[in-house]
Chains A and B, each alone.
Chain A
Amino acid sequence: MRVVARLLLGPSVVVAVALIVKGYTKVGDGFAAGMVVGLAVALNAVALGARGAEEALPVLRHAPRVAAAGAALALVSGFFPLALDEPVFSHRPGPDEKVVSVGTAELMTAVSFDVGIFLLVVGVVTVLVHQLADPDQEHST
């Protein structure tokens, strides 16, 4: 199970990225992608123990910041039109304008909003796993 857990992390991130990138044209969106990565993290936590998982993946300790960054990104993507005197969630480029696309990925603010959701979900799930996986930690610090 440990081996599987470690092996799965890489592919799961790839799948998540794919889900987001294709999100606007195919099935899947930021939430699903975030859940995929969150699952990988949770699997690691179950397999290695919360402590083990965090030692193996030191990146995880940035989770709160990732969540905050996601919320900020989503907020900015949603509310920047206010600065331009348009209703919120008027995405750019607007309807009937040309969209720069890289492969199937389209560069537009709706997608950045989706990325924000993704980051937030990953961050929150990781934090929750961290909080719930090891309840005996309360008095250790």
Chain B
Amino acid sequence: MADATTDATTDASVAPTSRPRLDVQGWSCCAAAAAGFVVCLVGWLRGGATVSLPWAPTLGVRLDFAFDGLAALYALLATGVGAVVFGYGARYLSQHLADHGRPRSERWRFWPWMALFAVAMVGLATATDLVLIFVFFDLTAVCSYFLIGFDRERREARTAALTALLVTIVPAVALLAGAVLLSATYGTFSVPELVERAEPGTTTTVAGLLIVVAALAKSAQVPLHFWLPRAMEAPTPVSAYLHSAAMVAAGVLVLGRVHPLLARSEVVLTVLLVVGLTSIAVGGVLALGRDELKQVLAYSTISQYGYVVTLYGMVGAAASGAAAFYVVVHAVAKCALFLSAGAVTTATGEDRLSHLGGLGRRLPVLAGATGVAAATLAALPLTGGFFSDELFFGAAKEQGPVLVVAAVLAAALTFAYIGRYWMRLFLGPTGTTPAPLSRVLVVPVVLLALVALVVGVLPAPITQLAEDAGAVSHAAPVALSPAYHLDLRATNVMALAAWTLGGLLLAVTGLRDRASRALAVAGDRLGPRRAYTASVLGLRRWSGRVHDWETRDLRSSIAAVLVPAGALAAAAFASTPIAQAYSVGPISGTDWLVLPLLALTGVATVVAARTRERLSIVLALSAVGFALAAVYALQAAPDVALVAVLVETMLTLVFLAALARLPGTEPRRESAPRAGRRWRDPVIGAIAGLGAFAVIWGYLSEPREAPSVSADQIRLTPAAHGKDVVTVIVADFRGLDTLGEITVLLIAAVGVATLLRRGRLWLPRPGRPGARRSSCGWSPGSCWDRASWSPSP
């Protein structure tokens, strides 16, 4: 494919103003994915491997990776399809950026996420620890957020990105909950160990349901399917990758990984069956009526993953193997279809079936390759799709007549919508005349179509892969034997029935379109998307109200801190026994010095509260601080006292500096405070003050020997070559904490710099020679241009 980069466009008149420069990032991603594919292939042929490293041993979380059949299948998909898509994207993205007048540097917002997407997918495929699976699961969602929202100046792209993120990440929490539930019962997060230990029962059922919810949301199954069609706002390579090998595949991957657990509960299996069949129907019927190319394909994806979910809902070796086989074939076909849709849109500038047609005469190669991909979905012979449907029918046959009928109807629906798509696109009268296409945009489609054809003739390698993957999902060896049989066996009859029905559906256009439109309208009226929108809007309104209430003015902000603090103290006060907890001890020794200092604090506080002059308030406050510092010093806490004095001095200084900048006159009150307001501040202050008072008094009444840690630290201080316990604790015993704290300091400085000076830690004074050198801070990070990084909702 490398030579294809050199001829970027065949016709200069339609090329963008200048030939786009080679997309180095894109091609290196492509090369890396191809290399990853080879590594995965070698790894699979060698029989796989497992890696297990401790991660959080106290929680029983391990970095468990296993390169088994299932991992091999999805890793090969992620890297193989990835290589093709990245190659396509290297050309597509340049054009996309040029069309939208965006700088070439925007590639940096694209390729790292794509690469991370692939890595997360491989990680998810190989992970066998539920917590690890959760982490990679969310990582793919985060990547998809940035990729779907790549065209961040468009509102639709931003909302689509947010929808995809919310709809997949919120249910992902259920996966974590299920993992914790299983681990609490069986003491491990590791999937293979859980498979050994878990017994059928309520726990397994509930945990299985939780995991299934997360996986189904990810795989865009009804009723959480609505994020997928919206995600079509993404650039085409992203859609292609998302649908075939990443994001959406992640859901069924998780299902395949934990399937031995799910198979222990009838309820879970029934849920999978019902959801899968519903998704096939809803996705298929909606795909029949859509006009936009990518929308048709998006609903098709929902329907196709419905097949896989249905297969996981059936128990049996045949079903598990068929699911794995189906995923591979679908990934190849769907990726080709998406890339071809992107090519068509690039060539014609149109993305609606109603404006397109007759492209087969102008783009015969693309038409042929797309035809093969469509035939694969429609399960015609000589394509891999025939075998995947043969296996699907075979698995359904074992489950009884209901599923046989459902399977035939599903296949007929698929045949109809993909047939309609292809025929509207490439046959009939010419809609929009296409411009000549870059070869880089066609070659990947042809390549994938060839793969589909090869699988249709020589299914053995994929069968082997699917058997290995199915063995993991089924927890027992799986044998598949896809082949052509020229007789009237059940699967062949079912296929014939599906084609006939599909052909009929293609023929009766009027009824079909009306049914599809009716379902679409009903879905819009009553569908889950409406509930989603309502809940997001409701949450936003609620959040806005809380925010307004909390930060209406400075007093509200302070009250928002003080009142809960006081309330918590009061709750603790109410719930602990107070007998003898509050005692007045004897007064002796240095206490006689402490008392006047405390009295001074009290007086200063009252002054600060009553006085109206700014300077007096500041000075009174600092008097409070210094008096308290003196109390610390007397209470044998000299380190604290030292820091208190220093911080107090700094605060006073800052206050004074701030005062110097204020306008000279005191602000006049616009109107007298309302009656309610007058009492609000004292009440808030009293709640917080009483709470703090109760806590401190309770603590001082019972100066217990602090439990072991402090005593140990004091004992060990000489061994650490120190005499000052506090310093030794800070620098040695709790060094890591300190490191975290000083990092916060640094971050605070960077934050202030970002807010005030666009990220510059130090601005040179104007007109000073030589000052320019230091205008940037200390790291490249401090000089970033503050363009927003993310598509904000």
A17: B residues at CB distance < 8 A = none
Residue of A nearest to B633 (CB): A27
Distance to closest chain A CB from B602 (angstroms): 27
Chain B contact residues, majority secondary structure = helix
Number of interface residues of B (CB under 8 A): 54
- Give residues 87-101 of A contacting B (CB, 8 Å): 88-89, 91, 93, 95-96, 99
Residues of A within 8 A of B55 (CB): none
Chain A residues with CB under 8 Å of B736's CB are 78, 88-89
Query: Is B649 touching A138 in the complex (CB atoms < 8 A)?
Result: no
A68 touches B720 (CB 8 A): no
Asked if B749 contacts A124 (CB within 8 A), the reply is: yes
- Do B724 and A27 touch across chains, with their CB atoms under 8 A apart? yes
Bound state CA distance, A123 and B739, in angstroms?
Answer: 16
Say yes or no: is B59 at the interface (Cβ < 8 Å to chain A): no
With a cutoff of 8 Å between Cβ atoms, the chain B residues found around residue A108 in the complex are 721
Question: Given A54-B765, A91-B732, does the pair A121, B745 have CB atoms closer than 8 Å?
Answer: yes
In chain A, positions 40-89 with a C-beta closer than 8 Å to chain B are 42-43, 45-46, 51, 54-55, 61-65, 67-68, 70-71, 74-75, 78, 88-89
Q: A35-B647, A99-B721, A131-B757 are in contact. Are A63 and B762 (CB under 8 A)?
A: yes
Q: Are B731 and A29 in contact (CB under 8 A)?
A: yes
- B727, A45: Cβ atoms under 8 Å? no
CB atoms of B721 and A29 under 8 A apart: no
User: Which of A27, A111, A116 is the one whose CB lies under 8 Å from B639?
Assistant: A27
Do B766 and A140 touch across chains, with their CB atoms under 8 A apart? Answer: yes
B646 and A39 form a contact (CB under 8 A): yes
Interface residues of B in 637-664 (CB under 8 A from A): 638-639, 642-643, 646-647, 649-650, 653-654, 656-657, 660
Q: Are the C-beta atoms of A71 and B720 separated by less than 8 Å?
A: no
Report the separation of the CA atoms of residues A123 and B771 in the bound assembly, to the nearest whole angstrom. 18
B723 touches A24 (CB 8 A): yes
Tally A residues with Cβ within 8 Å of B. Answer: 64
How many whole Å from B302's CB to the nearest CB in chain A? 48
Complex interface: chain B residues within 8 A of A32 (CB): 639, 642-643, 646
Within 8 Å CB of B721, what residues of A? 24, 93, 95, 99, 106, 108, 110
Interface presence of B706 (CB below 8 A): no
A14 within 8 A of B: no
- Chain B contact residues, CB within 8 Å of chain A: 638-639, 642-643, 646-647, 649-650, 653-654, 656-657, 660, 716, 719-724, 726-728, 730-732, 735-736, 738-739, 742-743, 745-746, 748-749, 752-753, 756-757, 761-766, 768, 771, 774-775, 777-779, 782
How far apart are B59's CB and chain A's nearest CB, in angstroms? Answer: 19
Question: Is the beta-carbon distance between B719 and A95 smaller than 8 angstroms?
Answer: yes
Contact B724 A128 (CB under 8 A): no
Within residues 17 to 40 of chain A, which ones have a CB less than 8 A from any CB in chain B? 23-32, 35-36, 38-39
Minimum Cβ distance to chain B for residue A136 (Å) = 10
In the complex, what distance in Å separates the CA atom of A23 from the CA atom of B768?
A: 39
> Chain B contacts of A28 at CB under 8 A?
639, 642, 724, 727
Whether the pair A110, B720 counts as a contact (CB closer than 8 A) is: yes
Q: A46-B657, A138-B757 are in contact. Are A61 and B764 (CB under 8 A)?
A: yes
Asked whether A127 and B763 contact (CB < 8 A) given A25-B722, A71-B742, the answer is no
Name the contact of A110 in the complex, choosing from B650, B654, B728, B743 (C-beta under 8 A).
Answer: B728
Question: With A and B bound together, what is the CA distance between A128 and B756 in angstroms?
Answer: 10
Contact A110–B731 (Cβ < 8 Å): yes
Q: Top 7 nearest A-B pairs by Cβ distance?
A: A89-B735, A35-B646, A64-B761, A95-B719, A68-B778, A29-B727, A25-B723
Choose one: B728, B739, B777, B782; the contact of A24 (CB below 8 Å): B728
